[in-house]
Chains A and B, each alone.
Chain A
């Protein structure tokens, strides 16, 4: 090996050092920008939430728009939620029967199905389905209104857009999520029982009596009503993402996507906290 052959090696070392010199500030800059966006997003959400709260707490109340949104969020999500609940009921029924049979605990089937659907799968599945359907809808609708200056036109017409657009949609989500969860639960239990009866005869009366045996309200009400918190999250994030949109059609697409992704993520994170809270508060 000659001395000349070391030249490229030192060249590589120089290049690596040079790359490091460029790379480190680039990484530091990216982290700083990400942190900046993170805090800016949460700060914006805080200010938005406060404005919505103030608009919700003070008259005039937008009853007509609230009723329209209750229909939009509730009635129009019902078929999808019921169908998803039905599918979940069948899946849990098949899985539970197989697992319980292996351990010789087939008699536990009704209560396993009831508790699985009502306490676990019904609420979270409803939250995720609604965050997909309603979150995307609200995010895209408000974003489209924002980029076409319709929200400015509402404000210029002396109407509080936080009251008319955000407050009504968020309230509709809060009120409708528990009801949709009940529908998903009912649908899941019905199809779960049907799937069981196809394999082994079990009367509906027997299924319900056995499934709910020894159950208290504390076992079923908190998991159902925790979905009101999911509704708050879905409505708040979708309205926030929609009303802060910039940048034309691309911005509308981004708002819809971000609404679904962020609402779903926060619903799952909230579930962790709420499950722990329910276990402690409603033992």
Chain B
């Protein structure tokens, strides 16, 4: 019997038009200390598409991202990246897949003993050892210029504001030219102007690089700006998935309440 991953893999090899899902999450379940966080959710994201995952705090949005990149193991269900189930892979085999993925953490998670430039160069130093130093330096400078941080190469993360840290985190996530971008609350804790700038930046990068992205957020305005599709989670389940208009016109009580609150 073909698994969901096999089907996704077949779809990918059959379709040369890059429409097969780069990320496919199937019937995913995850519980912590007996509390179910994700209760059998299924989602997929194609190349060039951005899915925004919304929901109240504690509904498992960040856990979903951690499961996709393999920082957590699911209790059941599968996470397929380019058709390969990554749930049971060891650190080194998972590493090969992670090279194709970029992750922006909610609190940026910059290496606090390294400068801004060293943070962005860190993945390159480990995975692109063949890259000449001058080329690496230019690429780091270019990435930081793209996120508007080219004047802060030598600063330490502790010298940066939250928005600046997010920008550096984004540049670091893009260092290995990923096909998949996972963003955990990219605008959380930022003022409206910085949020707008980060949204604009994500939108620009999406247009230029055609990555498959999942953006976890509780900011409906931001989600509407940067995502093609939105999925609303509640109690570990997908309540509704679709375009912003589908969500706006929904009669589901939770969706109405969420829209009202936003």
Which A residues are within 8 Å of any B CB, using their own CB?
A: 51, 55, 58, 60, 144, 148-150, 152-160, 162
B91 at the interface (CB under 8 A from A): yes
Of all A-B residue pairs in the complex, the 10 with the closest CB atoms, nearest first, are A158-B98, A149-B109, A153-B109, A158-B95, A156-B103, A157-B123, A158-B99, A160-B91, A149-B105, A159-B126
Contacts A156-B69, A157-B126, A158-B127; A148 near B107 (Cβ below 8 A): yes
B59-73 vs A, CB cutoff 8 Å, 1 = contact: the mask equals 000000010010100
- 8 extra A-B contacts, CB within 8 A, seeds A155-B71, A157-B172: A60-B126, A150-B112, A152-B66, A152-B109, A153-B110, A155-B91, A157-B176, A162-B91
Which residues of B from 70 to 97 have beta carbons under 8 Å from A? 71, 91-92, 94-97
Which B residues are within 8 Å of any A CB, using their own CB?
A: 66, 69, 71, 91-92, 94-99, 101, 103, 105-107, 109-112, 122-123, 126-127, 172, 176
The interface residues of chain B lying within 8 Å CB-to-CB of A153 are 103, 105, 109-111
29 contacts between A and B (CB under 8 A): A55-B91, A58-B92, A148-B109, A148-B112, A149-B105, A150-B110, A150-B111, A150-B112, A153-B109, A153-B110, A153-B111, A155-B71, A155-B98, A156-B71, A156-B98, A156-B101, A156-B105, A157-B98, A157-B103, A157-B122, A157-B126, A157-B172, A157-B176, A158-B96, A158-B123, A158-B176, A159-B95, A159-B126, A160-B91
Closest to A152 in B: B71
Closest to B92 in A: A160
Bound-complex Cα distance A154 to B172 (A):
11
Interface centre among A55, A157, A162 (most CB of B within 10 A): A157
The interface residues of chain A lying within 8 Å CB-to-CB of B97 are 158
The interface residues of chain B lying within 8 Å CB-to-CB of A159 are 95, 123, 126
Closest to A58 in B: B92
Closest to B90 in A: A54
Choose among B92, B107, B126, B176 the residue that contacts A149 (Cβ–Cβ < 8 A): B107
Bound-complex Cα distance A56 to B4 (A):
36
The interface residues of chain A lying within 8 Å CB-to-CB of B105 are 149, 152-153, 156
The interface residues of chain A lying within 8 Å CB-to-CB of B111 are 150, 153-154
Interface centre among A51, A58, A154 (most CB of B within 10 A): A154
Interface centre among B69, B98, B101, B109 (most CB of A within 10 A): B109
Bound-complex Cα distance A157 to B110 (A):
12
